[in-house]
Amino acid sequence: MRVLLQLGLSLILLAPQYATTAAAPSPQCQSQCGNVDIPYPFGTDEKCSLSKGFSINCTVQNGVHKPFLGDFEVLDISLTHATTRVLNHILGFCYNISTRKMEYAGLFGGIRSSSLSPLRISDIRNKFTVIGCNAFASISDYDGTGYQGMGVATCRHLFDLVDGSCSGMGCSQTTTPNKMFDYNVRFSSFANTSLIWKFNRCSYAVLMEAASFKFNVLYINTTKFNDTNAGRAPMVYDWAIRDVEGCDVARRNLTGTYACLSSNSKCIDSTNDQGYMCNCTHGYEGNPYLQDGCKDVNECNHNPCPSDGFCRNIIGEHRCSCRVGKRYVKESNTCNPDTSFIIGVTMGLFGLIVIIVITIFWGQMIIQKRKLNKVKQEYFRQHGGLLLFDRMKSDKGLAFTVYSQAELIRATGNFDNSKILGKGGHGTVYKGIIKNMPIAVKRCVLVDDRQKKEFGQEMLILSQINHKNIVKLLGCCLEVEVPILVYEFVSHGTLFELIHGKNHALQISFNTLLRIAHEAAEGLCFLHSYASPPIIHGDVKTSNILLDDNYMAKVSDFGASILAPSDKEQFVTMVQGTCGYLDPEYMQTCQLTEKSDVYSFGVILLEILTGQLPLKLEGSETQRSLSSIFLSAMKENNLDAVLVSHVKGKESMELLRGLADLAKKCLDMCGDNRPFMKEVANELNRLRKLSVHPWVRIDLEMDAESLLGGESTSGYEIELNGYPMGESENQPINPRSSYYAR
């Protein structure tokens, strides 16, 4: 019997799954079921309610729509008191004349729910009520490990019973604690009605609303109590938004689940377990859980002012006034003769002074704001903003965005240090989010007047570069003193990390590094040969070659880049770049050319061949520079001495010598003797094919002695599924986050 009661007398109320945002329901949502209003956060389905715990099932019974919360019929829902009245089932315990045993009557003797449910049994409005002449019932938490209570009702004579009295004779009531979300009711089998069944062979127990119950003597000698509402009695739930402890936590919640959406609402801590509910502030009424749900109350409709006065409704309250010669007294709500004209004039003058002071204050605020806007406009003009806008109007296909400073502040959390991707000589790069798209935001270092004048033109050219091996410039911000650039976000680290990272010998195949070098060369070739005018990168190094999700190379960081002008005098510039990669000729002449990029790229090829850093701080002067060590080894015909250990014996010496010869030509001390980047890309493409199919010689032997050749071809012509032949798709490459500035 106890097992059957445990299974039968329960109701599962699903716990709410709170949405990440407290969004308003659709206008198509049903707001009424039968004659019961269903206000939000409740709704007739999950899409119309705040969560599952607030979902109401509107069903048809005997041709009438009725709302149900689980198995309980809903009587009404109050937003003001945050309560829900339902019909709870009355549990009977009756003497069976045939079997001469006590048996339960009814299927429900409790509620089974979860602590995550928004509903709590009201400890103030409900009481555990027991009716009978020999009734002994207990109430407890559903699992029986917490709260335990009981109710006892006895009878001596029927004339001892009194209507309206529920103090033990025929009826008893017991209070319950708060924070209860479930309960279970049991009758004691020792207290039966076998001897007194002539009064009423049944006893009853139910947790019900105390205010709706009044004991009637007929409940003892008839079945009138159980017949009420088909064996059900009203019960009250307290509900609240329970995903946080209270109002203070809810207001600070960064996930946006704060439910008091109306601007004229207030948050109230729940008194029955953790959570909070919302109410409209004084002078407003409506639904505080909806945007603009709290509407102003027109108090003047209730005539709150004196009969000889005037009422004026204002937002949130009302004002009473009197005719000329009388003044309104709020305490007595009367219009009395005005004897304080001077005081009124004084107060009026004081109010005028306050208005003047406020006006001056706001005027100063407006003036300061205009000055700030002028400063922003001046920065915008200095950085070429007008040129950008003119070109954007004339070239409608220009894919370039001019961001505001406020947009980038929101995207980066006001340039939070935790969002820094990297720092370098040309600026600091932050990760940001705009329209759910990750971006890289670079705050440049101070620039001189010449760079400010050329900035707009450079942005136009860089924004139009659309090459798979060059990081895409999405836009910039020009209304700040130092320009801010916005790039696409590249997430899988740099070539530097692949070559010099931990366990690199086990993680990186030589073919992978060769493919990445070829892709980087294609990107630099595009800048030199196809951009108009050509662009010289100026800071080519492995840490400026980023890798995307597919480990494709993308050339980045154009902080040291310049446009190649027709006037060679403009090439003269301050030497900048990274030690170990700098072109010796550039350091002597201060003239940055495309052959300077070729020299730096030659150092990258050395890093791939040797696995060593381009510059060491210890050792003799000749042993510090990787290029010096390499050129010395080549001169002595001792290439094996500098090759990285895991490449020796695994790659053909023909391939390694070809790559070494290419690096040697790139590192020629005379820039005119170095190959063009287009020739470097073509040679790398030839070497890639040689590394995959070393027996293929057709058309490749003709190019072995010279770097001059035809158009560059894509390095993906002989790859399978995006990977070069000989490489594994599951190769354990795991670089860190990429850096856009070094």
- Per-residue pLDDT reduced to its tens digit, 140-191: 988 777 788 999 998 877 788 899 999 999 899 999 999 999 999 999 877 7
DSSP-based three-state secondary structure for 484: strand
Q: Is 730 a member of any domain?
A: no
Whether residue 135 is found in the same domain as residue 251? no
Residue 457 above 50 pLDDT? yes
Say what the pLDDT of residue 379 is.
57
Q: Report in angstroms the alpha-carbon separations of 536 from 2, 159, 466, 595.
A: 86, 109, 16, 9
Question: Which residues participate in the annotated binding site?
Answer: 442
Q: Is 545 a member of any domain?
A: yes
The predicted-structure confidence for 581-592, as pLDDT tens digits, reads as follows: 888 888 888 888
Number of C-beta neighbours around residue 468 at 10 A: 15
DSSP state letters, 499-522: HHSTTHHHH--HHHHHHHHHHHHH
Triad 341, 344, 347: Cα angle to 5°: 155
Q: Report in angstroms the alpha-carbon separations of 363 from 151, 352, 374, 376, 525.
A: 72, 16, 17, 20, 57
Whether residue 587 is found in the same domain as residue 467? no
Whether residue 463 is found in the same domain as residue 544? no
| Torsion sign, CA atoms 71, 73, 77, 83 | negative
324 alpha carbon, distance to own chain's centre: 59
Q: Give the residue numbers marked as catalytic.
A: 539
Q: Is 641 a member of any domain?
A: yes
**What CATH number corresponds to the domain at position 399?**
3.30.200.20
Question: Which residues participate in the annotated binding site for ATP?
Answer: 442
Give mean pLDDT, residues 71-83: 94
Long-range contacts of 384-390 (CB under 8 A, 24+ apart): 384/452, 384/453, 384/454, 384/455, 384/456, 384/457, 384/459, 384/478, 385/456, 385/478, 385/479, 386/456, 387/456, 387/457, 387/460, 388/456, 388/459, 388/460, 388/478
Whether residue 174 is found in the same domain as residue 211? yes
Whether residue 187 is found in the same domain as residue 258? no
Encoded tokens for 269:
């801590």
Which residues is 346 bridged to in the sheet?
A: none
| Torsion sign, CA atoms 447, 453, 456, 457 | negative
Whether residue 623 is found in the same domain as residue 685? yes
Nearest-angstrom CA–CA distance, 339 and 341: 6
DSSP code at position 14: P
Range in 91-105, 190-204, 233-247, 715-729 with the lowest mean pLDDT: 715-729
Whether residue 713 is found in the same domain as residue 672? yes
Q: Is 350 a member of any domain?
A: no
Q: Is 349 a member of any domain?
A: no
Nearest to 707 by CA among 669, 671, 663: 663
Which residues is 60 bridged to in the sheet?
A: 65
DSSP code at position 434: E
Number of C-beta neighbours around residue 411 at 10 A: 22
Whether residue 506 is found in the same domain as residue 639? yes
How many residues belong to the chain?
Answer: 742
What is the pTM assigned to this prediction?
0.45
Whether residue 634 is found in the same domain as residue 507? yes
Q: Is 361 a member of any domain?
A: no
Whether residue 459 is found in the same domain as residue 514? no
Q: Is 368 a member of any domain?
A: no
With cut-offs at 50, 70 and 90, classify the pLDDT of residue 22: low
Task: Output the average pLDDT for the chain.
Answer: 79
Encoded tokens for 198:
């002539």
Whether residue 64 is found in the same domain as residue 186? yes
Range of the domain at 326: 301-339
Q: How many domains does the chain have?
A: 5
**What CATH number corresponds to the domain at position 504?**
1.10.510.10
Say what the pLDDT of residue 255 is.
55
Residue 197 above 90 pLDDT? no
Nearest-angstrom CA–CA distance, 46 and 649: 65
Whether residue 531 is found in the same domain as residue 573? yes
Instruction: Report the b/e string of 494-520 with b at 16+ CB within 10 A.
Output: bbbbbbebeebeeebbbbbbbbbbbbb
Q: Is 348 a member of any domain?
A: no
